[in-house]
Structure 1
Amino acid sequence: MARRADAERNRARILEAAAEVFGQAGIDVPMSEVARRAGVGIATVMRNFPERERLIEETFAGAMHEYALTAAAAAADPDAWHGFRSFLEYLVRVQSGSRGFNEVLTTMFPGAERLEAERQAALRDFVRLVQKAKAAGRLRADFSPHDLPLFLLATSNVARLGDDAATDRLVAYLLRACAAGPEVPLPPATEPRDLYRALESSSRGRPA
């Protein structure tokens, strides 16, 4: 029984260390650094999380669930434009708060079923939000819900600056561009499969 309790404590320490180090330096940090921060050996980390993707999934499962819940709340907002604006502001804020989660939002993890299920749930609610905002006459008619990964990629680097004034200004620009009214027509939307392929390819070649 004591050995099992020790194993659970080690697992909890690894996850706590991963949240700290990934949040500060991103998800490409060597597993040996996670082990050092947790005060355990690398063998203990690898025994609990043989694949980096599994550690990332466990570390950010809660944050990704909150992301999906936030998208659902935005879609349920009676004022669709308020919901759209609030969700966009949330995205930039959460990307600024954790470099690791910023990278999780802009990287596909085909083997991490829980993360990808939450991502797809958020996208479905975002589609619903876009439809409502267009029906209310607040969102430009040629906006595509599949611009969401494009927004994530666009806001990612600015969010990493940690400069609130810069991120607020970017959000204001994006909202102005998305609002219905006299507008310059957009080029054709990027094919969703192309954007998601780009996100997926960014996950390849990560260190173990």
Structure 2
Amino acid sequence: MRADAERNRTAILAAAQQVFAERGLNVPLDEIARRAGVGEATLHRRFPDRALLIAGAFTDKMAAYADAAAEALTHDDPWEGFCAYVRRVCAMQSGDRGFADVLTVTFAAVNPVVEQLENHRSAAYRNWLTLIRNAKAAGGLRADFHAEDLVLLLMANAGVVAATADSAPDAWQRLVEYALQAFAAGNTQLLPAPPPRDALLQAMRRTQIITTAE
């Protein structure tokens, strides 16, 4: 890649990270081009579709998301590690409206950049399953907690973050603490059956269609 092309790519990604964080994933791409100081044609040449731009902007943050799950497994108390991970991920959402959305959508792996982002998501999910098993075995997590309950919480938290970012930016913390209390062992009231994983993935793909549409 020529030096000027690489500078444009770097500027576009930096602008995308900033604008997505401020306004979410549905921001017009011409705003990102303007913030990057390039023309729309240059943006589309470097990033032919929105999914590729989103993946490029958030791959590093998704790697941090995966690292957080691995770090939580090192906690001496499995339940505290579980709670620390949930709080950390929700805090990552609160500081970045775009990332709040990225955690609740999934992209088809059509190129190496998107594939890398989805690989980080998969790594985080595998460690999440281990966190759940350990927290249940230690007696801290209720027995009927389901892995996809985190997806529901992240979807709910993304909505709270988007609705309150300008007026009550810490409101998400109350939602998360309510959820963690509900997740704790000792809560024996029966819950409705969790949605099937395939159904949630379908919902995440449907959201992706919306966010990648021009």
**Displacement of 1:151:** 1.4
Summarize deviations over 1:104-136 as a string: whole Å, max 9, x none: 111111132112111111111110000000000
Aligned to 1:91: 89
The reply on whether 1:197 has 2:199 as its aligned counterpart is: no
* Match of residue 133 from structure 1: 135
Change (3 A) 1:182 1:174: closer
The amino acid across from 2:153 in the alignment is: F
Deviations 1:29-77 (A, max 9, x none): 1221111111111111111111111111110011000000001111232
Normalising to structure 2: TM-score of the pair? 0.91
Report the CA distance between 1:168 and its aligned residue. Answer: 2.1
Letter in structure 1 aligned against 2:121: R
Alpha-carbon distance between aligned partners in 2 of 1:28 and 1:172, rounded to the nearest angstrom: 29
Task: Assess if the C-alpha contact under 8 Å between 1:93 and 1:159 holds in 2.
Answer: no
Q: Does 1:151 align with 2:153?
A: yes
Partner Cα distance (1:158, 1:16) in 2? 25
In structure 2, distance between residues paired with 1:88 and 1:105: 13
The structure 1 residue matched to 2:101, chosen from 103, 115, 130, is 103
Distance 2:18 2:152 in 1: 27
Distance in 2, matches of 1:182 and 1:143, equals 11
Structure 1 runs of 4+ with >6 Å offset:
none
The superposition leaves residues 161-208 of structure 1 with CA deviations (integer Å, 9 ceiling, x where unpaired) of 233552222122111101001421212121111111101111114333
> Cα RMSD (Å) of the superposition?
1.5
Query: 1:123 matched to which residue of 2?
Result: 125
Contact 1:17 1:34 in 2 (8 A): yes
| Partner of residue 16, structure 2 | 18
- Taking only the aligned residue pairs, the percentage that are identical comes to 45
Gaps of 5+ in 1: none
Which residue of structure 2 lines up, in the alignment, with residue 44 of structure 1?
A: 42
User: For residues 28 and 191 of structure 2, what CA distance do their matches in structure 1 show?
Assistant: 42
CA contact (8 A) 1:23 1:99 kept: yes
Q: Paired residues, what number?
A: 206
The 2-side partners of 1:64 and 1:91 are apart by: 10
Structure 2: state its 5+ residue gaps: none
Q: Bigger shift: 47-56 or 160-169?
A: 160-169
Match of 1:188 in 2: 193
1:92–1:159 CA contact under 8 A, matched in 2 = no
